[in-house]
């Protein structure tokens, strides 16, 4: 407990340094920056604004109340992270649940780890921190990966290093965004798992995706059962996509060509619709006759 008080006293001392108009720290090069940046400071909640780059858009009110109750009893155990915007203004990078719950708990200040970052760095920090959370649904993680690619211009390889995940893992999450929005919502609400989603993404038709999704919920299908259902679906689709060839359809052409060459011509066609015409000849003289027919045609 004494250790906690000492840390809070240190934070208040740093707060006084932050509020000194003659020592407005804007970069790591400024005087006394090392005393502020990278340290835990007790900040007034009114000095902190929420992060406009926060990837998370929804917060469970019941869970916030539970966290607020814990904060009333024990205080904020893990500091939030903020970036310095102006002399008396800071912006959240991570820890919005703790920030919101502290307000509900009636706190006036909160311990904060201070950084200096530009907008892009702030977005990247917020996204990476968000991905590391344990309570995110697969779609929230997928959207965070997508934003890192589109807004931070990270490649999947670079992102793999930043977030400590295999590239194949990142690819699997990004593929979930190809699912119909109805299915994405179902995954966010916990009706199906990421495993179900990974199976469904192998179906090209969004209409059929939804049909199978509804069947999963109705029959309470496991991931393995869903994978088998998708495999059978794709097997049927493959058979449908193969053009059906009917040798009888080529009989008229075969008769016409046979009549022209004066010999029985044979037409062979495969499943893809490709084929060949076989023109038999009885002798060298017969071959010359056929050749003359072709030359004169």
Q: Are 155 and 192 in contact (CB under 8 A)?
A: no
Q: Are 53 and 91 in contact (CB under 8 A)?
A: no
b/e map 211-241, b = 16+ CB within 10 Å: ebbeebeeeebebeebbebbeebeeeeeeee
Q: Structure tokens of 44?
A: 């007034």
Q: Structure tokens of 193?
A: 């798992």
- The Cα–Cα gap between 205 and 179 comes to 10
- The Cα–Cα gap between 121 and 137 comes to 24
| Residue 96: active-site member | yes
- The Cα–Cα gap between 31 and 37 comes to 11
Strands 266-269 and 275-278: antiparallel
Q: Of 225, 164, 148, 147, which Cα lies nearest the Cα of 192? A: 225
Please identify which of the residues 42, 61, 66, 96 carries the catalytic annotation: 96
Helical (H) or strand (E) element with 84: strand 80-86
Q: Are 112 and 85 in contact (CB under 8 A)?
A: no
Q: Are 234 and 203 in contact (CB under 8 A)?
A: yes
- The Cα–Cα gap between 157 and 170 comes to 9
Q: Structure tokens of 167?
A: 């590239």
Q: Catalytic residue positions? A: 96
């Amino acid at each position: 407990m004494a250790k906690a008080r000492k840390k809070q006293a240190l934070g208040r001392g740093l707060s006084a340094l932050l509020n000194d108009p003659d020592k407005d720290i804007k970069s790591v090069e400024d005087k006394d920056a090392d005393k502020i940046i990278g340290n835990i400071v007790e900040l007034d909640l009114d000095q902190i604004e929420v992060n406009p780059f926060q990837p998370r858009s929804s917060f469970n009110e019941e869970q916030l109340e539970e966290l607020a109750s814990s904060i009333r009893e024990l205080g904020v155990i893990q500091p939030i992270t903020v970036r310095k915007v102006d002399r008396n203004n800071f912006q959240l990078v991570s820890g919005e649940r703790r920030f919101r719950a502290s307000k509900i708990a009636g706190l006036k200040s909160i311990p904060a780890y201070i950084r200096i970052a530009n907008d892009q760095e702030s977005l990247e920090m917020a996204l990476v921190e968000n991905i590391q959370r344990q309570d995110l649904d697969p779609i929230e993680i997928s959207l965070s990966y997508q934003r890192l690619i589109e807004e931070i211009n990270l490649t999947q390889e670079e992102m793999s290093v930043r977030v400590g995940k295999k590239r194949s893992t990142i690819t699997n999450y990004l593929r979930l965004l190809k699912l119909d929005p109805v299915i994405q919502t179902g995954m966010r609400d916990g009706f199906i798992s990421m495993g179900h989603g990974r199976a469904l993404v192998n179906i090209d038709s969004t209409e059929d995706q939804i049909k199978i999704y509804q069947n999963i919920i109705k029959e309470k299908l496991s991931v393995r059962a869903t994978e088998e259902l998708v495999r059978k679906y794709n097997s049927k689709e493959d058979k449908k996509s193969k053009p059906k060839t009917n040798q009888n359809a080529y009989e008229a052409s075969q008769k016409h060509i046979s009549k022209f060459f004066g010999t029985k011509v044979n037409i062979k066609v495969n499943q893809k619709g490709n084929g060949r015409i076989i023109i038999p000849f009885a002798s060298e003289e017969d071959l010359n006759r056929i050749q003359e027919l072709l030359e004169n045609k």
